[in-house]
Structure 1
Amino acid sequence: MHTRLLSASKWPAEAANQVPPSIRVSEIGFGAWAIGGGWGQQQDAESMLALNAAIDRGVNFIDTAAVYGDGHSEKLIAEVLKSRSEEVFVATKSPPADGPWPPSPTCRWQDRYSAAYLRDNVNDRLQNLGVERIDLLQLHTWTRAWNDDPQPLMVLHRLRDEGKINLIGVSTPEHDQDCVIQLMRNGLVDVVQVIFNLFHQEPMAQLLPVAAETGTGVIVRVALDEGVLTGKYSADHVFPEDDFRHRYFAGDRMQRSVERAEAIREDLAAFGLEEDYTMADVALKFALSRPEVSTVIAGMRNVQQVEQNTRTSQLRDLPADMLTLLERHNWRRGVWYGGK
């Protein structure tokens, strides 16, 4: 498995005793939402097999969150890592306190990410993961309204000084990913987690260049657009109601997505690469084509998905002219979570 730099040289000398000077992670990471149960029924035994298979194949980056099964995903990860000797980097997330998701422009950080709340939540993350220090703690969402008074991030910096956190990050709100640009330029985050895929290419405009400018690590999520970019779904596919994607692909969204995914398949065939690359390979390779990207997390809930997603790292990069052609699939579809 190829690796990339997640965080490095910008650390001050006095922080060297807390944070490694460089952290390299597998360019394909394990997305652990599904093993928490948010994507329909899932058996813990199958989840643990998938986690072990991923580590066996060189994956050393796992992304989870408090809300993935109310900590269940974190606990499974902790159980598996107890039996492994490999050094595995685990990123988790603290959600805001109850209220709109993502936070509205009128939300106060004092109500959503107060110091007391964050301290309690981080302690829960430590307990679930069975560690004394969290490799990467991300705020699970954000609002631009807090950029000029980003006190929640100041709380995380204090927690890092206390030895409870190594790296600090923010997972971008879907509707306003560029809100983290100011945070990056102000040196408040070490890592950002963003949506970047064949349908959503907006980060190339400014977010990714600013990440390079500031030395900020970039975790890409939703590279497969919740699975539709694998090309395995039909236009009339409907997910069970207990699967997050039942809402994500509500109405005619699946049909529209499949039609656009098929256009990508046609490009793959036009380049004569359909024998060597799956649709999933193309989607993951597109996200990895940007040098600013540190790792691409792909959801993995069984060994078959682990094998499919990790094989991509061993394939040669897509031709430059194909990457240019794939840019035409950028889709300004709005924010589906909002009901469009």
Structure 2
Amino acid sequence: MHTRPLGTDGPQVSEIGFGAWAIGGGWGDQDDTTSIRALNTAIDRGVNFIDTAAGYGDGHSERLIAEVIKTRKESVMVATKTPPAPGPWPPSPYCRWQDRYSAAYLRDNIHQRLTNLGTDRLDLLQLHTWTRAWNDDPQPLLVLRQMREEGKIGLIGVSTPEQDQSSVIQLMRDGLVDVIQIIYNLFQQEPVAQILPVAAETGTGVIVRVALDEGALAGKYAADHVFPEDDFRSRYFAGDRMRRTVDRVDKIREDAKTFGIDQEYSLADVALKFALARPEVSTVIAGMRSVAQVEQNTRTSRLRDLSEDMLLQLRRHHWHRGVWYSGKD
């Protein structure tokens, strides 16, 4: 497993990280024994970065991670997230930070993160979403800075709001975040326009999420695939979204065949390697909930990089599809 620096001042982290949403719940049936086995296998295979959040099973994901970490001798970095207080997701332009990320709320929520993870200090605390409306008065981030001085937090980050990822650019330039977490994949390539160059300019660590587009870019779904109602993906791929997605994934498969790598690389490998091709990217977190998924996603690090010609060809899959997290359009 190769490692990369998490920004200028951050530690070396595995270039494939463990995305721990599904082990908390919300992605259909999942038992803890399987989750624990997956976590241990990931660490065995060199993964030293795990990403979780308060909202992943109301802290269940964090508690499982803590249970595993305490049995391991390896140094593993755990990143978690604090959501805003109840209200629109992502916050609307009319939301006040005082109502969503007040100092009292942040301190209480972060105390719960510390308790769930069984630690006195969080390696990385990320605000789970943001709005550009707070950029000129970013008091929540100043609260996190104070908590870092108190020894409660290591690195400070923001996970981008899906509808306005570029809202973090000002935060990077103002030196308010050490790390950003962004959506970047074969379909969503907009971060190359400004987010990634500014991250390089400011020495900000970059965590990539949704690199497999919630599993679709692994090429494992048919056009008529239907998820159970208790699975997050039943909403993500609502309406005709699955059919449209599979049509585009088939074109990526054709590119892999054209470049003669389809026997060596799975479509998941291609998708992860595409995200890792950018030097600004510190780690790509892939959702993992079974040993088989861990083995598939971690093997990617051992494969040679995609050729420049193929990376140029893959740019054509950038898809202006809007945001799929609400509604069916």
For residues 312 and 325 of structure 2, what CA distance do their matches in structure 1 show? 29
Map 1:1-340 to 2 at 5 A: 1-9=1-9, 22-339=10-327, 340=329
The Cα of 1:50 is off from its aligned counterpart by: 0.1
Q: Structure 1 residue 338: deviation in Å? A: 3.0
Residue 226 of structure 1 aligns to a residue in which SS? coil
Consecutive unaligned residues in structure 2, runs of 5 or more: none
The number of aligned residues is 328
Distance 1:8 1:159 in 2: 21
C-alpha distance in 1 between matches for 2:241 and 2:208: 22
> Offset at 1:5?
0.4
Counterpart of 1:56, as a letter, is D
Whole-angstrom CA distance in 2 between matches of 1:107 and 1:238: 35
What is the CA–CA distance in structure 1 between the aligned matches of 2:144 and 2:112, rounded to whole Å?
Answer: 14
**Code of the aligned partner of 2:252:** I
- Partner AA of 1:334 in structure 2: G
Q: Deviations over 1:215-248 (max 9, x none)?
A: 0000000000000000010000011100000000
- State the alpha-carbon separation in 1 of the partners of residues 326 and 111 from structure 2: 32
Whether the aligned pair in 2 keeps the contact of 1:7 and 1:24 (CA below 8 Å) is no
Taking the aligned partners of 2:20 and 2:324, their CA distance within structure 1 comes to 22
Q: How far 1:293 sits from its partner (Å)?
A: 0.1
Letter in 1 for 2:258: A
Contact 1:228 1:258 in 2 (8 A): yes
Separation in structure 2 between the aligned mates of residue 303 and residue 126 of structure 1, nearest angstrom: 27
Residue-by-residue CA offset, 1:180-220 (whole Å, 9 max, x unaligned): 00000000000000000000000000000000000000000
Contact 2:18 2:287 in 1 (8 A): yes
Residues 179, 204 of structure 2: 8 Å contact kept: yes
- Alpha-carbon deviation of 1:38? 1.3
Give the equivalent residue in structure 2 for 1:13.
Answer: none
Cα deviation per residue 1:8-48 (whole Å; 9 max; x = unaligned)? Answer: 34xxxxxxxxxxxx400000000000000111110000000
Alpha-carbon displacement from aligned partner over 1:268-317 (angstroms, at most 9, x marks no partner): 00011111100000000000000000000000000000000000000000
1: CA distance, partners of 2:62 / 2:259: 41
SS of alignment partner, residue 179 of structure 1: helix
1:5 corresponds to which letter in structure 2?
P
What 5-or-longer segments of structure 1 have no aligned partner?
Answer: 10-21
In percent, how many aligned pairs have the same letter? 76
2:156–2:178 CA contact under 8 A, matched in 1: yes
Distance 1:200 1:190 in 2: 23
- Per-residue deviation, 1:336: 1.2
Report the AA paired with residue 239 of structure 2: G
8 Å Cα contact 2:127/2:158 also seen in 1:
yes
What RMSD in Å do the two structures reach over aligned CA positions? 0.5
Aligned residue type for 2:326: G
TM-score, normalised to structure 2, is 0.99
Distance 1:244 1:83 in 2: 31
Residues 7 and 206 of structure 2 are in contact (CA less than 8 Å); yes or no, is this contact kept in structure 1?
Answer: no
CA distance in structure 1 between the partners assigned to 2:326 and 2:30 by the alignment: 27
SS at match of 2:23: helix
Per-residue CA deviation, residues 121-142 of structure 1 (Å, 9 max, x unaligned), is 0000000000110000000000
- 1:309 alignment partner, SS class: helix
